C-alpha cells in the first residue's frame, strides 16, 4: 500500500514557516526510501511503497499539486490494458480550475489529491469518493498535516498525541464507527466524497461527490437495463484493476460476491496469472448457535436463518472447477495467539487485528512463495448489491409511486424477503411508504449490550455513531430502502483490515468502486431486491458466471461461532488484561459487569464475542499510545501536540 505524508503551510506566515522548518523535511532531507511527489511554495508531499502500475504519483504542472494512488480515465473504454495517464494540458487545467471536481467527474480509482489553485490562493485536499485510500488530517501551529499511516508521523514528526476519550468510548460500543474523528485528539479522517479547502488560515468543506443526488435519479428502473448496467460496471472495474498486475490472488470465500469477482476475472482480457485463496473455519463438533444479545427474538431468528458456518470450501471448489483455476486452501485454527495484538504498528484508532492475523500470515507466505502482486476480494458486495432481510422494497415502491398497480405484488415479494407476515409488511408499507413516516432499522447500535461505563453511554443515540455523510443521507428525501443502501457507503474502511501484507502488495476491492456504486445507487430498491431476494439483481446480472448452488444460496458464512470459541479459550487472558487494564482504570469499562461477564459459563450470552475481543484490541491500543506519550522524544526545542 502506498504511504504518504503531506504538509501545507502559509509561506507568508512566519509561524507556519518556522513550524514547517522545525520538522526538518525537504527533498534533500527526506527519509531513505521516500520519494518527493511535490515540493512547492507552501506544499511538500512525499510518498513510499509505490509499485508500478498500481500506485503512482500524478503531478499537476507548475506546482498545481499532485494525485497519489491509481486513477482510471472513464473514457478509456473496456480497460483491457493498463492506461498511462498524464495529468497535463487541458486535463490538469480542468482539475485545477474546478478545485478537483474535474478529477472526480472524469476519473475514478483509489487516490489522495492536493490541488493548488494559485490564482485564488487555495489548496484543495480530498480522497477518492469511496475513501479507498487511507487519509487523515491534523493541524499544528499553521501547518496542516495529511498522512496515510500514523506510525510515519510518530517516527518522522515530533508531535505528541492524546487519546480522544469520547471516540474511544463509542468505538468500544461499536467497532465499525463512521464518525469523522479518530481515537486521537485533533486527528480526523479526510472525509470521503468531500473536499477540504485551505485559504488564508481558514478551512472550509464542500461536497465533491453526492450519493444522494445520484440515488435521486432512479433512471435504471427496468430490470433488464439495470442488470446490464450493473454487470458492465463491475466487469469494467475488474478489467481495470486486473490490467495493473501480472499475478493476482482472489480471496474466494465461496460466497456470492467473491464468486462474481471470480467470474469477472475469468472474462478479463488481462494476461495476469490468477489463483484463488480460501481460508475456512471448521469448528467440527464445536459448532454452536450464534449468540445475539441485545437483538430482539424475531430479528435474531431471521438473521440466524441466513448465517452459515465458516467452512465454505465446497462452494469455493465449485468456482475453481468452473473456471479451472488453482484453489489454495487454508484453515483458521482455534489456537489463536491473541497476544499478537500488541505487536501491530500504531494506528489512529483501535484495530481488529484478531480478525485477520492468520490471514496476514497466509498472505505474506503467498507473496513470498508465489509472487502475488495483488489480493482481490468481494468486499463491499453486501453493501453495493444490497444484502438485507429488512422489508424495504414495498416501502420504497409506495414512497415513490403511491397506490399504483403492482404494489400488492411488491408487498408479497417483500414478505418473502423479510420473513415478516404479509400484513406486517402491509402496515410498514403504509406507515413508512405512503405516509412517509421515518423508518428505523431494527439493528440499533445504541441498544447493543455493552460493558462501557454508564457515565460514558448516557444519552447516546444512533446518530452519535454516524458520519456527516450518513447524517445527510438520513435527512434527505430518499425513500427508506435507498437511504439504507446509500449508508453502506459509510461503513468502516476495508484498509483498516490490512496490516503487514500491505507493505509488500496491494489489496483491491473492485466492488467498492465509484462506477459500481454510481450504477447501483441509480437502481431502485425494488429492482436491486428483485423477486424479494437479497442481492436479487446481482444474482440475475451475473447468473451465467455463477454455479447454480451459489446463485440460489441465501446463507452466508460467518465467523461468529469461531469467536465465541476463541473467547472461551482465552478467558484467562481476557481477565488478566482487562480487569486490571487501562480501560478499567481510566473508567471506560465497568469492572463489576466485566468481571461478571467473563466469569459466566458463556460470556458471549452477555456481550457478543467480537465485542469482547474488541475490548482486548482497545486495551492493547490504549497501552501502546500511553507508552508512546510517555517515551515520546522531542528532538526540537518545541513542545508539540496535535491540536
Question: What's the CATH code of the domain at 15?
Answer: 3.60.20.10
User: Rounded to an integer, what distance in angstroms lies between the CA atom of residue 543 and that of residue 280?
Assistant: 25
Residues 110, 246 share a domain: no
Residue 540 CA to residue 551 CA, distance in Å, equals: 8
68's grid cell: 497519489
- Angle, vertex CA 354, rays to CA 352 and CA 360, nearest 5: 100
Residue 257 and residue 130 share a domain? no
Q: Residues 577, 616: contact at Cβ < 8 Å? A: yes
* Residue 167 to residue 149: CA distance in whole angstroms: 19
- Residue 189: its H or E element: strand 188-189
Q: Are residues 375 and 500 in the same domain?
A: yes
Contact 4, 68 (CB under 8 A): yes
Q: How far apart are the first and last CA of the chain?
A: 28
Q: Is the dihedral of CA 604, 609, 613, 618 positive or negative?
A: negative
Backbone φ, ψ for residue 165 (5° rounding): -60, -40
Domain-ending residue, one of 531, 546, 577: 577
Same domain, 239 and 357: yes
Place of cell 500500500: 1
DSSP letter at 163 equals: B
Q: Is 151 exposed, middle or buried (0-12, 13-18, 19+ CB in 10 A)?
A: middle
Residue 606 in any domain: the answer is no
Answer whether 612's CB lies under 8 Å from 567's CB.
yes
CA–CA dist 74, 526 (Å, integer)? 28
583, 618 contact by CB (below 8 A)? yes
Q: Does residue 434 lie within any of the structural domains?
A: no
Query: What's the domain range around 489?
Result: 211-390+441-577
Which grid coordinates belong to 166? 469520547
| Claim to verify: residue 360 and residue 457 sit in the same structural domain | yes
Number of domains into which the chain is organized = 2
Nearby residues of 417 by Cβ (< 8 Å), 6 or more positions away: 388, 389, 391, 393, 529, 532, 533, 534
**Longest CA pairwise span in the chain (Å):** 75
For the chain, residues with pLDDT lower than 50 are 285-286, 304-307, 633-643
C-alpha cell at 233: 460496471
Residue with cell 430518499: 478
**pLDDT for the residue 594:** 96
Domain boundary residue, one of 183, 209, 235? 209
Question: Looking at the structure, do residues 200 and 271 belong to the same domain, yes or no?
Answer: no
**Is 65 found in the same domain as 185?**
yes
Using alpha carbons, select from 554, 386, 417 the residue that is nearest to residue 484: 386
Let me know whether 273 and 203 are in one domain. Answer: no
Q: Which among 577, 604, 628 is the end of a domain?
A: 577
C-alpha grid cell, residue 515 = 462506477
CA distance 353 to 342: 10
| Residue 90 and residue 186 in one domain | yes
Judged by DSSP in three states, 254 sits in coil
State which H helix or E strand residue 516 sits in. helix 514-521
Cell numbers for 285, please give them.
Answer: 463438533
Q: For strands 327-332 and 273-281, give the pairing.
A: parallel
Q: What is the CATH number of the domain that holds 249?
A: 3.40.50.620
CA dist 225 and 219 (Å) reads 10
Q: For 157-202, where are the alpha helices, taking DSSP H only?
A: 165-173
Q: Is 196 found in the same domain as 216?
A: no
Q: In 60-195, which residue ranges form alpha helices assigned H by DSSP?
A: 89-97, 101-106, 150-156, 165-173
Based on the fold, state whether residues 160 and 33 are members of the same structural domain: yes
Amino acid at each position: 500500500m502506498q504511504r504518504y505524508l503531506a504538509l501545507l503551510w502559509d509561506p507568508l506566515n512566519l509561524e507556519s514557516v518556522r513550524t514547517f522548518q522545525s520538522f526538518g523535511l525537504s527533498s534533500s532531507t527526506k527519509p531513505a526510501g521516500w520519494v518527493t511527489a511535490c515540493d512547492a511554495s507552501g506544499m511538500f508531499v512525499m510518498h513510499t511503497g509505490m509499485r508500478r502500475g498500481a500506485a503512482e504519483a500524478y503531478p499537476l504542472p507548475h506546482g498545481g499539486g499532485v494525485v497519489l494512488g491509481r486513477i482510471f480515465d472513464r473514457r478509456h473504454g473496456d480497460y483491457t490494458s493498463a492506461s498511462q495517464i498524464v495529468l497535463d494540458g487541458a486535463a490538469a487545467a480542468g482539475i485545477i480550475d474546478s478545485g478537483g471536481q474535474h478529477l472526480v467527474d472524469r476519473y475514478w480509482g483509489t487516490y489522495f489529491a492536493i490541488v493548488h489553485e494559485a490564482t485564488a490562493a487555495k489548496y484543495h485536499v480530498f480522497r477518492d469518493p469511496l475513501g479507498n485510500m487511507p487519509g487523515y488530517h491534523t493541524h499544528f501551529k499553521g501547518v496542516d498535516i495529511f498522512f496515510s499511516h500514523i506510525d510515519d508521523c510518530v517516527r518522522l514528526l515530533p508531535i505528541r498525541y492524546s487519546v480522544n476519550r469520547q471516540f474511544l468510548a463509542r468505538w468500544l460500543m461499536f467497532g465499525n464507527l463512521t464518525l469523522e474523528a479518530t481515537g486521537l485528539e485533533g486527528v480526523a479522517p479526510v472525509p470521503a466524497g468531500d473536499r477540504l479547502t485551505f485559504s488564508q488560515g481558514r478551512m472550509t468543506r464542500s461536497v465533491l461527490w453526492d450519493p444522494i443526488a445520484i440515488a435521486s435519479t432512479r433512471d435504471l428502473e427496468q430490470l433488464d437495463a439495470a442488470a446490464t448496467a450493473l454487470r458492465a460496471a463491475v466487469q469494467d472495474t475488474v478489467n481495470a484493476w486486473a490490467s495493473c498486475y501480472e499475478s493476482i490472488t482472489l480471496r474466494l470465500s465461496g460466497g456470492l460476491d467473491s464468486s462474481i469477482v471470480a467470474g469477472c476475472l475469468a472474462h478479463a482480457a488481462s494476461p495476469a496469472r490468477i489463483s484463488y485463496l480460501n481460508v475456512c473455519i471448521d469448528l467440527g463438533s464445536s459448532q454452536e448457535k450464534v449468540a445475539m444479545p441485545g437483538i430482539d427474538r424475531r430479528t435474531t431468528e431471521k438473521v440466524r436463518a441466513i448465517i452459515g458456518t465458516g467452512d465454505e470450501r465446497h462452494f469455493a471448489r465449485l468456482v475453481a472447477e468452473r473456471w479451472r483455476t488453482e484453489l489454495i486452501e487454508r484453515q483458521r485454527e482455534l489456537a489463536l495467539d491473541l497476544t499478537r495484538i500488541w505487536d501491530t504498528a500504531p494506528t489512529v484508532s483501535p484495530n481488529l487485528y484478531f480478525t485477520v492475523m492468520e490471514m496476514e500470515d497466509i498472505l505474506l507466505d503467498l507473496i513470498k512463495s508465489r509472487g502475488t502482486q495483488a489480493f482481490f476480494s468481494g468486499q463491499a458486495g453486501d453493501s453495493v448489491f444490497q444484502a438485507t432481510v429488512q422489508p424495504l422494497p414495498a416501502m420504497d415502491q409506495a414512497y415513490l409511486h403511491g397506490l399504483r398497480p403492482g404494489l400488492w405484488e411488491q408487498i408479497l415479494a417483500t414478505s418473502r424477503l423479510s420473513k415478516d407476515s404479509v400484513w406486517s409488511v402491509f402496515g410498514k408499507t403504509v406507515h413508512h411508504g405512503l405516509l412517509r413516516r421515518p423508518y428505523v432499522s431494527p439493528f440499533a447500535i445504541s441498544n447493543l449490550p455493552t460493558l462501557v461505563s454508564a457515565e460514558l453511554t448516557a444519552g447516546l443515540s444512533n446518530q452519535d455513531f454516524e458520519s456527516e455523510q450518513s447524517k445527510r443521507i438520513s435527512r434527505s428525501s430518499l425513500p427508506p430502502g435507498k437511504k439504507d443502501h446509500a449508508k453502506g457507503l459509510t461503513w468502516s474502511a476495508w484498509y483498516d483490515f490490512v496490516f503487514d501484507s500491505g507493505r509488500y502488495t496491494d489489496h483491491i476491492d473492485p466492488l467498492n468502486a465509484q462506477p459500481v456504486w454510481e450504477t447501483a445507487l441509480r437502481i431502485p430498491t425494488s429492482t436491486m431486491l428483485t423477486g424479494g431476494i437479497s442481492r436479487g439483481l446481482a444474482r440475475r446480472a451475473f447468473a451465467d458466471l455463477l454455479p447454480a448452488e451459489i446463485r440460489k444460496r441465501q446463507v452466508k458464512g460467518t465467523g461468529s461461532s469461531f469467536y465465541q470459541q476463541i473467547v472461551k479459550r482465552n478467558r484467562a487472558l481476557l481477565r488478566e488484561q482487562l480487569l486490571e487494564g487501562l480501560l478499567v482504570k481510566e473508567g471506560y469499562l465497568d469492572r463489576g459487569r466485566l468481571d461478571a461477564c467473563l466469569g459466566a459459563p458463556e460470556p458471549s450470552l452477555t456481550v457478543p464475542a467480537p465485542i469482547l475481543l474488541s475490548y482486548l484490541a482497545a486495551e492493547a491500543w490504549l497501552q501502546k499510545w500511553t507508552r508512546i506519550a510517555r517515551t515520546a522524544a522531542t528532538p526540537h526545542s518545541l513542545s508539540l501536540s496535535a491540536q
